[in-house]
Amino acid sequence: MLRTALRNVLAHKARLVMTALAVMLGVAFVSGTLVFGDTVASAFRAASTVSLKDVAVSVQAEYVPGAEDGGETPTTVLDSRLVDRVRDLPGVTAVRPSVNGSATLARKDGEPLNADSSWQNLAADYVIGTDGKDARHPLVSGRAPAAKSELALDTTTAEKAGYRIGDTVRFATTGPALTKKLVGIVRTEDPRVTAGGTLVLFDTRTAQGLFLSPGRFNEISVAAAPGTDQHALTERVRALLPKEGATATSGAELAAEQARQTAENTEALTKMLLVFAGIALFVGVFIIANTFTMLIAQRGREIALMRAVGASRRQVVRSVLVEAGLLGLGASAAGFVLGLGIAAGLRPLLNSAGAGLPDGPLVVAPTALLGSLTVGVLVTVLAAWLPSRKAAKIAPVEALSSIEASAPAGMRVRNALGALLTGAGVAVMLYVSTLDNGAETNLLLAMFGSFLTLAGTIVLAPLLSRPLVFLAGGVTTRFFGVSGKLAQENALRNPRRTAATASALMIGLTLITGLTVAGHSVDRAMSRAAVQGLTADYRVANSAYLGLDPKLADKIADVPGVAGATPLASAGLTVDGEYALISGLDPKQLGTVADIDFTSGSAAALGPGRIAVSETYAGRAGLRTGDIVKGRFDLDSGKPARLKQLTVVGVYAENPVVAGVVGDLGDVLPYAMDGGYDSVLVKAEPGRAAGLDREIRSALGDSPLLKVQSREQITREESGEIDVMLDMMYGLLGMAVVIAILGVINTLAMSVYERTREIGMLRAIGLDRTGIRRMVRLESVVISLFGAALGIGTGVFLAWTGGSLTASGLPDYTTTVPWPRLALFLALAVLIGILASIWPAGRAARLNMLRAISSQ
């Protein structure tokens, strides 16, 4: 039987090639994900090792509330005297004091560089060691910055920004733009930079002036002599530090913490990718099962002869499973090799979406290889198990009497099971549609209901295929005559086979449609929320989420064409134990930049000590217009919490322009984050809005940190994140669709083989080669459209019922169906059907008429 299995694999190479490709692609996704996870983890560890090289102890300044602006600033306890004292400790061989900060660059063409990911925009001092170089930042060209007017960039940053040695570089740290001359280009291994960030280096004195004060440092790295106990050295360093303001950590502790963070950073991403790999393999199961079912039907006489000469049912099952195992092993090995390419391409793909993953060589662990091969073989064998059982049940006399398989049986039981699963899934999802929050239990319930609905639809697919294929076939018959009618009959001939082929495509389109409808609905809701109630023409904010200098509002107001500039600040406010953000502004200017609907009271009554509250917060805190309450301001401003008597002068409908409470700017600003404004809303004079953003930028020093956005730009920014996410999901689900296409090709090719004599007879009675090709092509299109109709319909239903879970986080959410995109999916289904039929249709048309008629 083993020899028989080997012979069958070799004898049916062409018929198994698509199945092997499906397994290969599914395993490639799994292996690529496993290798990618190991590679990223290794890259993070390597980057950590580089950054901690020769670091026995790290002394870091703690952050405390700023005295002036209310933001957090590093303490000043790390100074030159402390550096000298640490250097004199026994066992210390070197001490490296450093200054760290953040600087956002402008490109040479003037546009901000990486402004939306400012946390990756690093700035530091170029620390010259005893050899006259900075070991962390080796020079590639030029020289080290040595004067206040000079800086250096890393190679990637200089290339992206378009700067060369000698150019003037414009940048900003927290305020107006600054300019300095580029005198050096360095190389860095910092993972934040290699993953898409930027690096700007200054001489130590200049860096201290920008980010600290003269003679102060953010960190002191201590190198120890060989054999020195890190723990003991750390304790000696701690003894030199003041009780507050700085912490000392051993290099071993830092390495352990970074290893923990690395595991957390990679685990979630790897799990998400494995989910999509599982989807791809699940789609492949339909192709594998379909292929072996058709092969067994074609080899019915061969199996009957085996049974007649003494082969038991168990041996027949074992032979088919061995054949499947060999196919799975070979395809899995090829898939693992392909997965290495996927692993190499995932990192730049994810980094382009802002993932921030470091560079590093591919890491191929034995567990990834064994896991990939095991998954591929198991999936193939399990998918072939039911067809093998069916083969073993064929009676020898029945199989010897005809090559054709008997008509499928057991549809009544299958239809009942499908109806039960689908009904249960629909009931669960209808219940989910009544929920109004995305709690974990609700999400799990929605996932369970979605699974039941999808599984039930798959089981019911043969029953659903008859009306849907008949409907599609009516169209093909009307427009393509006999070829269209034959295509309809061929698709209806074996509902199970048609359903299995279409289900592979249906799964991918269900997920893609569900994501598209949900994403489009969230996009529309976020876009509406971004500008709902906003009547200002522009919003000025800091891209690094830092507070805006209060002086900027006056500068904006003086720009020609500006009718008014209304600053907004926010802080935390607690009333009767209920917390909310409070927006502070000038009550007299509120109506010029925002349209707020007051259900009681009015904006005119706002002022010092007088607040208005949203309907939601009023309900939570039990507040009404006219109430006098004690409010506590306490949002991370660093100032002590302060109780203030407040009078509620109005209640308004929820509005995204302001927070849950609105108050006077003078009450809120002292407790605002960074002691600055969140944003400044700008109203233009009539007819002066166009191009006003350039004037505002120029008046504010053209800082790369500032964002001056019109209403349209605010909307695009909100929708851009959703579009990036959908594009990434489309890419990940694209593998499942490709596998589904292979399934259509495989089914059609094997169906052509089964119908060889029939095709010969059609040729004999006058159907030409063009008609044969059209028949196969239309059959493929009908199957693809059937799968697309089921997938799109199921996806829309799941997105509609699950959309209610976003209600708590996005009150304006309503399910919005993107009809043009769904029409595009249908068109793609037609295209998929046409492309998938090219090879089978060509093969059918090339069949020799006489040989086809005489085939057995």
Indicate the average pLDDT of the chain: 84
pLDDT at 585 over 70: yes
Tokens of 611: 């607040």
The rounded distance, in Å, linking the Cα atoms of 513 and 797 is 10
Q: Where are the domains of the chain?
A: 54-251, 463-533+712-856, 547-704
Q: 74 has which bridge partners? A: 63
The rounded distance, in Å, linking the Cα atoms of 629 and 563 is 36
The rounded distance, in Å, linking the Cα atoms of 109 and 127 is 30
* pLDDT for position 398: 59
Tokens of 447: 């996932």
* pLDDT for position 26: 83
* pLDDT for position 69: 40
Torsion of CA 384, 388, 391, 393, to 10 degrees: -140
Higher pLDDT, residue 28 or 10: 28
pLDDT at 174 over 80: no
Contact 296, 328 (CB under 8 A): no
Tokens of 547: 């507070």
pLDDT at 528 over 80: no
pLDDT at 404 over 50: no
Return the minimum-mean-pLDDT range out of 194-203, 518-527, 602-611, 720-729.
720-729
Return the minimum-mean-pLDDT range out of 196-205, 546-555, 782-791, 846-855.
846-855
pLDDT at 419 over 90: yes
Higher pLDDT, residue 484 or 17: 484
* pLDDT for position 719: 66
- One-letter identity of residue 608: P
Higher pLDDT, residue 408 or 15: 15
Return the minimum-mean-pLDDT range out of 11-20, 367-376, 407-416, 790-799.
11-20
The rounded distance, in Å, linking the Cα atoms of 316 and 307 is 8
* pLDDT for position 75: 66
pLDDT digits (tens, 9 = 90+) for 603-641: 889 999 999 999 989 999 999 999 999 998 875 545 556
pLDDT at 383 over 80: yes
pLDDT digits (tens, 9 = 90+) for 635-691: 554 555 678 899 999 999 988 888 899 999 989 988 887 678 889 999 999 988 888
pLDDT at 280 over 90: no
pLDDT at 191 over 60: yes
pLDDT digits (tens, 9 = 90+) for 431-456: 999 987 778 889 899 999 999 999 99
* pLDDT for position 8: 60
pLDDT at 126 over 90: yes
Q: pLDDT confidence of 510, banded at 50, 70, 90?
A: very high
Q: How many CB atoms lie within 10 A of CB 624?
A: 11
Q: What is the DSSP letter of 410?
A: -
* pLDDT for position 65: 54
pLDDT at 460 over 90: yes
pLDDT at 10 over 60: no
Least Cα distance to 225 among 47, 44, 388, 89 occurs for: 89
Least Cα distance to 1 among 353, 271, 319 occurs for: 319
Contact 663, 583 (CB under 8 A): yes
pTM for the predicted model, two decimal places: 0.73
Return the minimum-mean-pLDDT range out of 261-270, 473-482, 703-712, 836-845.
261-270
Return the minimum-mean-pLDDT range out of 262-266, 407-411, 492-496.
407-411
**Average of per-residue pLDDT across 329-346:** 89
Percent share of the chain, pLDDT over 70: 89
483 Cβ contact partners less than 8 Å away, ≥ 6 residues apart: 476, 767, 771, 774, 775, 778
pLDDT digits (tens, 9 = 90+) for 388-399: 887 777 666 655
* pLDDT for position 67: 40
* pLDDT for position 839: 85
* pLDDT for position 208: 92
Q: Could you give the 3-state DSSP secondary structure of residue 242? A: coil
pLDDT at 4 over 70: no
* pLDDT for position 119: 74
pLDDT digits (tens, 9 = 90+) for 692-706: 988 998 888 888 888
**Average of per-residue pLDDT across 79-89:** 91
Task: Provide the phi-psi class of 262: left if phi over 0, else alpha when psi is between -120 and 50, else beta.
Answer: alpha
* pLDDT for position 6: 58
**Average of per-residue pLDDT across 491-507:** 87
pLDDT digits (tens, 9 = 90+) for 289-336: 877 777 776 666 677 767 777 778 888 788 888 888 888 898 899 989
User: DSSP alpha helices (H): ranges in 402-494?
Assistant: 411-432, 440-493
pLDDT at 131 over 90: no
**Average of per-residue pLDDT across 479-487:** 89
pLDDT at 796 over 90: yes
* pLDDT for position 68: 41
Higher pLDDT, residue 621 or 851: 621
* pLDDT for position 430: 94
pLDDT digits (tens, 9 = 90+) for 197-241: 899 999 999 999 999 888 899 999 998 988 888 899 999 999 998
**Average of per-residue pLDDT across 457-476:** 90
Q: How far is CA 804 from CA 198, 454, 526, 800, in A?
A: 41, 19, 15, 8
The rounded distance, in Å, linking the Cα atoms of 162 and 177 is 18
Could you identify the residue written with the tokens 């907004």? Answer: 568
Q: pLDDT confidence of 855, banded at 50, 70, 90?
A: low
440-493 and 495-531 helices, crossing angle to 10° = 140
Q: Residue 817: what are its φ and ψ, rounded to 5°?
A: -85, 120
**Kind of pairing between the strands at 610-614 and 598-601:** unpaired
Q: pLDDT confidence of 500, banded at 50, 70, 90?
A: confident
Return the minimum-mean-pLDDT range out of 164-178, 327-341, 395-409.
395-409
